[in-house]
Every structure is written in structure tokens, then in C-alpha cells.
Structure 1
Amino acid sequence: METRIALIGIIVENKDSVEKINGILHEYGEHIVGRMGVPYKPKNVSVISVIIDAPNSVISALSGKLGMIPHVNVKTVYSKINEPLEMQD
């Protein structure tokens, strides 16, 4: 099945949502390439970046589930290419 690389940006406005976020990300763990979370205390939010390599339907499902969690904002950016290009020197 054809996959794409995507970056899912998550802003968490309430720490009570973190457990649900981690549970959903765990469900999709086989597709996750990496993730980074940064707490931003002056605004009392956390920002999470998730890199995923998966079929479009999986990326959309993950983004949708995350976006339904209260106090969580999600945006997804897709790569323009579906297959990796050979590295150039």
C-alpha cells in the first residue's frame, strides 16, 4: 500500500487531554517515525510534533481522532511526494 510522510502538529491547551492523546498515538505507533513534545509554560500549553509514514486514510483517521479531543488543536501537513527520491550529492 502506498504511504506518505506527514507532520501532525498538536497544541494541547489542557493537561487533562494528554492521556487521551498518548493513547491514540500508541494505537498508531507502527506508523509513527518520531515525535517531539515541548511544554510552553508561559502560555500553559504543550506543543507536540508527530512525523508519520502511513497511507492517507491512516493519517486522516489519526488527525481526526486527535482533533476530536477537547482543548486540542491539530493541523496536518502532507509531503508532496509519495515515494522517496534518491538523495542527490
Structure 2
Amino acid sequence: MENRIAIIGTIVENSEAVEKINAVLHEYSDYILGRMGIPQAKRHMNIITIVIEAPNDVISALSGKLGMIPNVNIKTVYSKVTTQ
């Protein structure tokens, strides 16, 4: 199956969600190429960017699980290029 590179941008509006996010990301750790977290203490939020290389269905599943966590907003951007 062909893989794609995608970026999942995540804004966490409640720090109680971070533990749930980490659990979901651990499930998909084999596909994650990198992760960057930026705490915004003044605004009481965190910004997490995840770079992933995986088949479309895996990327969609990860995005869906993250998006179902309360107080978490996500957007996923897919590359047009597929990899083997």
C-alpha cells in the first residue's frame, strides 16, 4: 500500500486532553516521523504539530481519533506525493 506524508496540526484548549492525545499518538508511533509541541501558557493552550508517513486510512484514523478528544481541534494536510 502506498504511503503519503501528512501534517496534523493540533490545538489543545484544555491541558487535561494532553494525556489522551499522548495515548493516541503512542498507538501510531511507528508512523510518526516527528512531533513538535509549543506550550502557550498565557493563552492556556498547547499547539502540537505531527508529521506522519502512512497509508491514507491510517492517517485518517489518527486524525479522527484526535479530533474526537474534547477540547482538541485538528486539521490535516496531505502531500500529493505517494511513497513506497
What are the ranges of 5 or more consecutive residues in structure 1 without an aligned counterpart?
Answer: 85-89
Indicate the structure (1 or 2) with the bigger Cα radius of gyration.
Answer: 1
Distance in 2 (alpha carbons) for counterparts of 1:83 and 1:70:
33
Q: Residues of 1 paired with 2:19 and 2:43: CA distance?
A: 20
TM-score between the two structures when normalised by the length of structure 2: 0.96
Number of the residue aligned with 1:72: 72
- Cα distance, 1:38 vs. partner? 0.5
Deviations 1:11-64 (A, max 9, x none): 000011001000000000000000000001221100000000000000000000
* In structure 1, C-alpha distance between the alignment counterparts of 2:56 and 2:19, rounded to whole Å: 25
Q: How many residues align?
A: 84
**CA RMSD of the aligned region, Å?**
1.1
Which 4+ residue blocks in structure 1 deviate beyond 4 angstroms? Answer: none
The structure that is strand-richer by fraction is 2
TM-score when normalising by structure 1: 0.91
Matched residue, 1:52 = 52
